[in-house]
Amino acid sequence: MQYHSNDCSTSIEEFKRMFGTTSAGATQVLIVSPGPIKNLETQFGRAFDPKAWKLLFSKREIVLPNGGPTVYLEATGSTQKFTEGNVYLPYAGMHTIDEYVGDRRSVNTFFLPQSQNDLSQYKKKYPNSIAV
């Protein structure tokens, strides 16, 4: 299933909210960087504990505390130990979205658009996506 945010800003609050929505009830979460992984470091460092996210950036895998999911981080086209779960696509382009919507490992995809144009393209291609 596909889900999306209608908030087309790059606010830390929306970034964090969508990550929480993606993680809810999941055992594995894959975060896909829209380019080099360093592109998301500022968002993660501001939204969450910087030490935890530095570990994620260096190891590409962490287990969230208190029974949270295992979180994996990858750039488009790379592969990790992620086997099946929810996929978080912050600021991704349509090519990346298409790749992960069709990925056999994806149970659900969660898209955070960067602009109104990105959201319009996404909703046109995935009209059954649910706003969360």
* Rounded Cα gap, residues 80 and 45, in angstroms: 22
Length of the chain: 132
pTM score above 0.95 = no
pLDDT in tens, the chain (132 residues): 999 999 987 889 999 999 999 999 999 999 998 887 777 878 888 888 788 888 888 888 888 888 889 999 887 666 668 889 999 999 999 999 999 999 899 999 999 999 999 999 999 999 999 999
Q: Which alpha helices (DSSP H) does the chain contain, by range?
A: 12-23, 41-47, 50-59, 94-101, 116-125
The answer regarding whether domain 2-131 maps to CATH 1.20.140 reads: no
User: What letter represents residue 86's amino acid?
Assistant: N
Domains of the chain, residue spans:
2-131
* Rounded Cα gap, residues 111 and 92, in angstroms: 7
